[in-house]
Amino acid sequence: MHSNFSACRTARYFLFIVLLVLIAASSEVQAAPKPSATHLLTEYLENPLGIDVPQPRLSWQFVQNARGARQSAYQIQVADSLEALKSGKANVWDGGKVFSSRSVNIPLPAKQLRSGMRCYWRVKVWDADGAPSDFSAPAWFEMGLLNKEDWQGVWLTAPMADGSAFLGPPQETAPFFRFEFALDKPVKRARAYVTGLGYYELYLNGGKVGDRVLDPAYTTFSKRVLYSAYDVTNQVKQGRNAVGAILGKGWYGGPPCVIAQLNIEFRDGTRASITTNRDWKYSLGPILENSIFHGETYDARLEQPGWDSPGFEDSKWRPALVAHPPTEKLSAQMMQPIRVVETIKPRKLRRLKDGSWVFDFGQNFSGWCRLKVSGPAGTEVILRHAELVHPNGAVNQDNLRGAKATDRYILKGEGVEIYEPRFTYHGFRYAQIEGFPGRPNLGTLTGCVVHTDFPRRGAFECSNPLLNKIQSNSVWGYRTNWHSIPTDCPQRDERQGWLGDAQSTSDMGFYNFDAAAAYTNYLQDIQDVQGEDGRIPDTVPYVYGQNPGDPMWAGAYLFIAWDLYRHSGDNRLLERHYEGFKRYVDMLAMEAKDYILTRNQYGDWLSPIEAKEDRVPKELISTCAFYRSAWIAARVAEIIGRPDDAKRHNDLCSKIANAFNAKFFNPETNNYGNASQLSNAFPLYLGIVPEGKRKSVLENLVKDVVVNCNGHLSTGFVGTRLLMDVLCNEGRADVAYTIVTQRDYPGWGYMIENGATTIWERWDLRVGRGMNSHNHPNHGSISAWFYRMVAGIIPRADAPGYEHFDIKPFVAGDLKEAKASINTIRGLAASHWKRDGGGISLDVTIPANSRASVWVPKVGLTDVQVKEDFTIIWRNGKFIPGVPGINGASDAGDWIKFEVGSGSYSFWLEPRGGAEIFHTILFRERMGQRDVR
């Protein structure tokens, strides 16, 4: 498409561009409908329990179904009861009318918010003409336990049989705890605050509290343990009650321990707290072994029915021990928890010669199996999980390395028994069942998909099924690798927060999911482990790799924050982390010699040319990472008002760029480093190629892709994301499209040709022992490219949080149509382009209180009839004003760029060809929100 177009541009032609907009009758200028505010969020969460920041921030979506709708003012009201709020008594805070278009992340003043306090809030908004909305429907948030003293209980653990040593390896049993208490008055409201290491489950009066699994989140426990808050008003009662907890091993190295507190408010206004104390008792139960890597062994014969109900006979239970507090700080888990987010049915079942059975779920995922079985007591059913199968059909666990990924269930023999494990998870597509009494069927197992439960917010689809499949695999890979932190893989003996993996996928995370709260927590995780000297390790929490980490890995601290900022507009985040960013950049600056940073662990990890001798110079990658980190630090310093720092970082950037060019650029060949794709793409990406050389470097890059690599990439964890963006931004979307549509090695299509349902760690197919995960998120970063480049939705850093964004699709190759929609923090943003005859239509939706630059690609040169009912808005290189919401336009090379306000628009470019070619671009207006999902 691109070359086609360029060729035409070289021809001498008179460019006659006409843009039309159909004014639908209903769109005639009329009074704008009443505005409203919806989707109220506190700290990115809907009605959260357990907020523990002193100044919670509130966001809403300003809604007005009109062109160019803007909020001109707002009023927030906060009250301590719903009744008060509804009657207009904002007894916590009434901010009054504030003249501002701001609708995102507005902090409440730091006052009056007590531990456990429930606040109801609502907002009123005014539109551009000063017309007010009604107050929104109320939302609420509830404060957590803000002070150390709010925790009145002690940490409990369980002693071993000899009374001294703690539970732990080798048996890894999961201890059960219980305590009974009486409440002598009717309960008005009750909250449970709880956490336990490695994992806990809380029980009250015969039932589990909440639907969280694998809670709490994986943090650096010595620094920060997250607790969860639950509304248990309906689970406690006047009279006798029983509370219980089960503890799993999780990621915790010490003896399992728990702290819990029930805060109860009685109808008469008095209060009581039930806490973990010395009178709690413990016992071992049916979970004989639990390990994230190896699985769980559960002997149902050891169940103690009624253990979590009052009146249970617990004389054989032993007193729990008070444990040393395992952490410096308890803070609330202000992110979506891990849940069983969906269940899937197996597609196939196959009997093996040895009598075992293999289930195929048809999808690689993270989680576990729910087993349905009946048989004699003592029968042991074994479930082995794997991503792959051997040629004989048996599960192939070779690539799990040390992880056994095996659950065992021993029947109690009482009819139909349903079992699912609690304190483990597996990455698998196949499950092999051994010892099953009778003949299993497809209903025997249900796949439970388990990961951090952030809501989906984006969708992408296009006319090429291969790209849709890549998108699907990428999203499966991404979400099944989010287990309270972004992990590298869900199956083998690793599953850690490798920062290189986290930074390459954060952007796609923000496009596809409401992941802001989760990454806010993860950035805190990074801050928790940062050294005094600025160092950041390869993994967070720090388990594997080195410290300081590889500059492309450790730089994730800044890279992820920058992505989050662009998508959310969250300034406080930048303020909170700026000192950390600065310390990190200063450390690199001290370490670099003449502005070249040589320390590097992983190069362009797992690139197809990695094993070759002439690999990308590692110091080239590290120095680029250094530049990128300093560049982000400079931007952040500018944003948060530190001009001196900004200048210092900007100077550093110039020096790094000069040193980099002097060392790695060959002005004779116009190549960087080893002339590989990454060597040339990285400086192009950073914008540090010397003036006048950009084109030649790009030509070399394109030549390497097209000629040397026959249309394929040669990049790994570092280079792939950059390469695809650079090619588009430099005008060679056609080459990027060639890469992404390959079906042979190396490329996404090759994985799919080989049956992949997620994204592999390596570009090549390996099924043996060693490092070859079949569910690694990294190369799924291409999903961001689909949104950003193919559908063209790009949040801007200069007006972040979609206040002003670009819709700039790159139309390339044989792609006929692409669409994406994102429920941004301000509302629905959507782009849908389609080749239409010889031209192109582009339907866009801009949320209210936002604006966009819409780049209409000048594509297609065949003769097409001009339709009559369209309004011309661009002719002879000039913008013709008149259509509401379209405020201006300019010629922007391969695009015509329109500045538009909120609303839905249909642009239509209709070209004409001939000896004298002229384009006619039609813009057709459609009313109403278009759902492009």
Q: What residues line the site for ligand BGC (CB under 6 A)?
A: 488-489, 494, 498, 500-501, 602, 605, 771, 776
Q: How far is CA 194 from CA 37, 134, 170, 198, 620, in A?
A: 34, 39, 27, 13, 48
Residue 916 a catalytic site member: no
Q: Between residues 498 and 750, which has the closer beta carbon with respect to ligand BGC?
A: 498
Closest CA to 443 of 558, 359, 540, 527: 359
Beta carbons within 10 angstroms of residue 316's beta carbon: 8
Q: Checking DSSP bridges between strand 225-231 and strand 330-332, what pairing results, if any?
A: parallel
Out of 43, 387, 761, 925, which one is annotated catalytic?
761
Closest CA to 736 of 820, 832, 817, 810: 810
The CA distance from 32 to 25, in Å, is 15
849 dihedral zone (left: phi>0; alpha: psi -120 to 50; beta)? left
Whether omega for the bond prior to residue 541 falls within 30 degrees of 0, making it cis, is: yes
Two tokens, residue 269: 């206004």
Query: CB of 766: closest distance to ligand BGC in angstroms?
Result: 14
* DSSP at 907: E
Three-state secondary structure of 148-212: HHHCCCCCEECECCCCCCECCCCCCCCEEEEEEEEECCCEEEEEEEEEEECEEEEEECCEECCCC
DSSP output for 427-464? EEEEEEEES-SS---TTSEEEEEEEE-PPB-EEEEES-
Closest CA to 128 of 843, 851, 796, 798: 851
Query: CB of 759: closest distance to ligand BGC in angstroms?
Result: 12
Q: Between residues 534 and 545, which has the closer beta carbon with respect to ligand BGC?
A: 545
Two tokens, residue 920: 């006619």
Query: CB of 716: closest distance to ligand BGC in angstroms?
Result: 10
Residues contacting residue 444 through CB under 8 Å, at least 6 positions apart? 359, 371, 372, 373, 433, 436
Q: Between residues 126 and 476, which has the closer beta carbon with respect to ligand BGC?
A: 476
Query: CB of 760: closest distance to ligand BGC in angstroms?
Result: 11
Class of residue 868 by CB neighbours under 10 A (exposed 0-12, middle 13-18, buried 19+): exposed
Q: Between residues 248 and 719, which has the closer beta carbon with respect to ligand BGC?
A: 719
Query: CB of 473: closest distance to ligand BGC in angstroms?
Result: 17
Query: CB of 776: closest distance to ligand BGC in angstroms?
Result: 6
The CA distance from 739 to 818, in Å, is 18
Task: Name the residue with tokens 């209409």.
Answer: 856
Query: CB of 704: closest distance to ligand BGC in angstroms?
Result: 24
Out of 494, 610, 730, 910, which one is annotated catalytic?
494
Query: CB of 401: closest distance to ligand BGC in angstroms?
Result: 10
Q: Between residues 72 and 481, which has the closer beta carbon with respect to ligand BGC?
A: 481
Query: What's the chain's Rg over C-alpha atoms?
Result: 30
Angle between helices 677-686 and 694-703 (to 10 degrees): 150
The CA distance from 653 to 588, in Å, is 12
Residue 328 a catalytic site member: no
Query: CB of 495: closest distance to ligand BGC in angstroms?
Result: 9
The CA distance from 346 to 364, in Å, is 11
Question: Is residue 717 a contact partner of residue 504, using CB atoms and an 8 Å limit?
Answer: yes
Three-state secondary structure of 88-113: CCCCCEECCCECCCCCCCEECCCCCC
Query: CB of 513: closest distance to ligand BGC in angstroms?
Result: 20
**Side chain identity, residue 182:** A
The CA distance from 444 to 409, in Å, is 13
Closest CA to 241 of 283, 209, 212: 209
Q: Between residues 605 and 810, which has the closer beta carbon with respect to ligand BGC?
A: 605
Residues contacting residue 361 through CB under 8 Å, at least 6 positions apart? 344, 345, 346, 347, 428, 429, 430, 431, 447
Backbone torsions φ then ψ of 561, nearest 5 degrees: -60, -40
Whether omega for the bond prior to residue 198 falls within 30 degrees of 0, making it cis, is: yes
Query: CB of 405: closest distance to ligand BGC in angstroms?
Result: 16
Q: Is the dihedral of CA 502, 505, 506, 512 positive or negative?
A: negative
The CA distance from 15 to 617, in Å, is 46
Query: CB of 410: closest distance to ligand BGC in angstroms?
Result: 34
Query: CB of 493: closest distance to ligand BGC in angstroms?
Result: 10
Q: Between residues 433 and 554, which has the closer beta carbon with respect to ligand BGC?
A: 554
The strand pairing partners of 120, in sequence order, are 79, 140
The strand pairing partners of 215, in sequence order, are 200
Question: Is residue 227 a contact partner of residue 199, using CB atoms and an 8 Å limit?
Answer: no
Two tokens, residue 473: 């695999």
Active-site residues, by number, are 494, 761
